[in-house]
Amino acid sequence: MTFDSNPVLDKLPNHLKQYIKPQNYSLYTAIDQAVWRYVMRKNVAYLSEVAHPSYLEGLNKTGISVDQIPNMYGMNRILKEIGWAAVAVDGFIPPSAFMEFQAYNVLVIASDIRQLENIEYTPAPDIIHEGAGHAPIIANPEYAEYLRRFGEIGSKAISSEKDYELYEAVRYLSIIKEASGSTKKAIKEAEEKIEVLQQNMGEPSEMALIRNLHWWTVEYGLIGEVSNPKIYGAGLLSSIGESAWCMTDKVSKIPYSIEAAHTAFDITQPQPQLFVTPDFAYLSQVLEEFANTMGLRKGGLKGLEKLINAKALGTIELSTGLQISGIFSRMITHENKAIYVQTTQETALAYRERELVGHGIDDHPKGFGSPLGKLKGINLAIEDMSPRDLKAYNIYEGETISLEFEGDMFLSGKIVTGTRNLMGKIILISFENCTLRHKDEVLFEPSDGLYHMAVGQKIISAYNGPADLCSFKMVTHEISTETIQEDSTKEKAKLCAYYQQIREFREGVNRTISRNKVFNVLKEEYPSDWLLPVELYELAILNGDKSFSEKIVKHLESIKLSNPKLGHLIDDGLALVKNNMIPN
């Protein structure tokens, strides 16, 4: 799978590149282009009054056209000027991967576009939401740094098993809601599954909490004064329905704080409340406040517990700087401290995010276990011992010793060698003929081979993912559900052809097309289609053809009578023309 790279994308690790797909710009139909054009023109007209000034400025800076769906190559050519890039993906991707892309200054853009039937809002990520919502705001340097920093911290957030199950359920719902052949029953069942999952998540994980922060800021954030806020969240900027709804008194406006992390959201419904930040700088302040609660910064027993519950690849860092990466399965505690830690499956050891030679997954294919903490009756921790101290306690190459750790942890064996960090502290001691036991339980015995004991008094950090990205085979992503590409019927293809003809007429590509003929076909063969008549009305007004414009309005009024839900969309399209609010 190929994509156009650039200096920003060149820095992406391979495990992120596996999510990228080609944009396939030629697959966008003329109806898709008309949907983009309608939403963007409607939004720009409205958002010029209620969006943060960075939005309109960003549209110009990022090269996003109001009249046509952005080409990823063109976007990247302009985005690189502000140090960012964009890639196309297939709908929702795992939250940790999404966050990590942001950490590399890369926007993830779902390249599909919503159907005309879902023109106001879709739960599925699409290019309107991503390209027209996210991209313009990153032209603001302070907000762009918040987004990057959010990705950096968010990608280290520890998830739970239920988080991934919920992600899969939300991804599936977003796909079938946007697919034209989905039944109401299938959609209802998918929504009910999400509701059941949300009600039985248990204690929210770090990823669940920081995902809430992301939702209430990056996706649905307001900025300024609570009494008169402006829009900056991409979900609002890309929704012609919710961008207007959120400005009414029906939506509560709440001062933004870390409490937003504990406020859940429903992706299938308009939001009943929104949070208002006074400025972009305050977003970073709350983010750092939240990061202070994470295992990333607190470590300790709680951080280790989170990793064990996650049952996914994670890392703990000890007070010596030694990093243990694997799937954590067990711990033994004493006086509310971890005195033993165990991983299962492939494990790697690292220091400062670089794998230690001889301690990759091939060296620890079945896991790694080690005692932690201090020796019993000795105030000086092993990591703080000088070479003279170590020799005094017989912790010396070639010596056969017995060590008793606090909490009834006993180790005996012959020291083979030791590994030090850059500061000269011992971080790893290797033994042969080693026995490790906790009380009467044997944790390691001589027949298991060479034993490596991690040195560390305490766990100072616990986070998602490996310390060294090169340690593990991470290009393993398999999408369980793929977005459904609509099969084009003869009728749909014919309608697309009429949209294309009107587009070419408007752009001056082909002025020989009879607009009246197209209109008459629409009335006979596609009586419920409203968007192309609106475009025809625009051309009639621009050309001063009053008789033709009146015929179109009459037809649109009949569509409104047969389908009242389309009334405001039609009225808004006509109003854009009448009020001369359509940008050139």
188 and 65 share one domain: yes
Cα dihedral sign, 357-360-362-366: positive
> Stretch 218-241: mean pLDDT, rounded?
91
- Of the candidates 289, 331, 360, the residue with the CA atom closest to the CA atom of residue 459: 331
Judgement on whether residues 207 and 280 belong to the same structural domain of the protein: yes
Q: Does any domain span residue 180? A: yes
In a domain, 294, yes or no: no
Q: Same structural domain for residues 416 and 520? A: no
Question: CA 303, CA 170: separation in Å to the nearest integer?
Answer: 27
Amino acid letter, 231: I
Residue 582: what pLDDT? Answer: 45
Question: Is residue 210 exposed (0-12), middle (13-18) or buried (19+ Cβ within 10 Å)?
Answer: buried
Residue 90 and residue 111: Cα distance in Å, rounded? 7
Same domain, 457 and 496: no
**pLDDT band (50, 70, 90) for residue 28:** very high
Does residue 216 carry a pLDDT above 80?
yes
Torsion on CA atoms 566, 571, 572, 578, rounded to nearest 10: 160
Tell which of 254, 288, 322 closes a domain: 288
Beta-carbon-side half-sphere exposure of residue 7 (alpha carbons within 13 Å): 8
Radius of gyration of the chain (CA): 29
Mean pLDDT of the chain: 89
By the 8 A CB rule, do 306 and 295 touch? Answer: yes
Q: What is the pLDDT of residue 120?
A: 79
The alpha carbon of 511 is separated from its chain's Cα centroid by a whole number of angstroms, namely 45
Using CA atoms, how far residue 138 sits from 153, 284, 304, in Å, is 18, 14, 35
Residues 460 and 494 in one domain: no
| pLDDT score recorded for residue 278 | 98
Report pLDDT for 485: 52
If asked whether residues 356 and 502 sit together in one domain, one would say no
As a whole number of angstroms, the distance between CA 297 and CA 158 comes to: 12
Other CB atoms within a 10 A radius of the CB of residue 130 amount to: 22
Total number of domains constituting the chain: 3
What pLDDT score was predicted for residue 583? 45
- The predicted-structure confidence for 305-351, as pLDDT tens digits, reads as follows 999 999 999 999 999 999 999 999 999 999 999 999 999 999 999 99
Q: Is the pLDDT of residue 434 over 70?
A: yes
Given the DSSP bridges, would you call strands 273-277 and 252-255 parallel, antiparallel or unpaired? parallel
Three-state secondary structure string covering 359-397 = CCCCCCCCCCEEECCCECCCCCCHHHCCHHHHHHCCCCC
> Other C-beta atoms within 10 Å of 362: how many?
9
Task: Write b or e for each residue in 160-169: b if 16 or more Cβ atoms lie within 10 A of its Cβ, otherwise e.
Answer: bebbbebbbb
Contact 114, 128 (CB under 8 A): yes
Q: Are residues 386 and 445 in the same domain?
A: yes
Q: Which of 206, 202, 102, 113 is nearest to 151 (CA)?
A: 102
- 3-class SS of residue 334: strand
- Close Cβ partners of 386 (under 8 Å, ≥ 6 residues apart): none
Residue 469 lies in a domain: no
- Considering the domain architecture, whether residues 146 and 114 belong to the same structural domain is answered as yes
In the chain the first and final C-alpha atoms are separated, in Å, by 37
Residues 164 and 228 in one domain: yes
Question: Which DSSP symbol is given to 465?
Answer: S
Question: Is the confidence at residue 481, as pLDDT, over 60?
Answer: no
Domain-located, residue 405: yes
Neighbours of 401 (CB within 10 A): 15
- Distance set, CA 473 to CA 94, 316, 346, 476 (Å): 17, 19, 10, 7
Task: Say whether pLDDT at 122 is over 90.
Answer: no
**At which of 288, 320, 338 does a domain end?**
288
- Mean pLDDT of the region 533-542: 95
Is residue 293 included in any domain, yes or no? no
**Is residue 484 pLDDT above 60, yes or no?**
no
Lowest mean pLDDT among 4-18, 120-134, 211-225, 490-504: 120-134
Give the domain extent around 450. Answer: 312-464
For residue 483, the model assigns a pLDDT of 54
Query: Is 275 inside a domain boundary?
Result: yes
Strands 369-371, 337-351: pairing kind: antiparallel
- Residue-level pLDDT at 2: 53
> Is residue 487 predicted with pLDDT exceeding 60?
no
Residue 126 is predicted with a pLDDT of 83
Quick check: is 494 in a domain? yes
Q: What is the CATH number of the domain that holds 63?
A: 1.10.800.10
Q: Same structural domain for residues 158 and 250?
A: yes
Query: In the structure, what pLDDT confidence band is assigned to residue 18 with cuts at 50, 70 and 90?
Result: confident
CA distance 247 to 95: 29
Give the SS3 label for residue 341: strand
Which residues does residue 425 pair with via DSSP β-bridges, in sequence order? none
- Please state, in angstroms and rounded to a whole number, the distance separating the CA atoms of residues 171 and 386: 55
pLDDT score, position 271 = 87
C-alpha 180/C-alpha 186 separation (Å) is 12
pLDDT per residue as tens digits for the range 411-431: 999 999 999 988 888 999 999
In tens, the pLDDT along 152-202 reads 999 999 998 788 778 778 778 777 776 767 788 888 888 788 778 777 777
Same domain, 393 and 495: no
With cut-offs at 50, 70 and 90, classify the pLDDT of residue 478: low
400 lies in a domain? Answer: yes
- 295 exposure class (CB count in 10 Å sphere: 0-12, 13-18, 19+): buried
Tell me which H or E stretch contains 525.
helix 515-525
The least confident of 174-188, 206-220, 365-379 is: 174-188
Query: Do residues 460 and 319 make contact, with C-beta atoms less than 8 angstroms apart?
Result: yes
Same domain, residue pair 211 and 333: no
Q: Select from 220, 254, 288 the last residue of a domain.
A: 288
Helices vs. strands in the chain: H and E counts, helices first: 22, 17
DSSP 270: -
Question: Given a cut of 80, is residue 547 above it in pLDDT?
Answer: yes
Q: 496: burial class by Cβ within 10 Å (0-12, 13-18, 19+)? A: middle
Summarize the confidence of residues 217-242 as an average pLDDT. Answer: 91
As a whole number, mean pLDDT of residues 90-98 equals 83
- Cα separation of 201 and 205, whole Å? 9
The model carries a pTM of 0.85
CA distance 193 to 121: 21
Q: What is the mean pLDDT of residues 355-369?
A: 97
pLDDT band, residue 1 (cuts 50/70/90): very low
Token pair, residue 426, equals: 């011992």
Half-sphere exposure of 334 (CA within 13 A, CB side): 18
Q: Are 267 and 170 in contact (CB under 8 A)?
A: yes
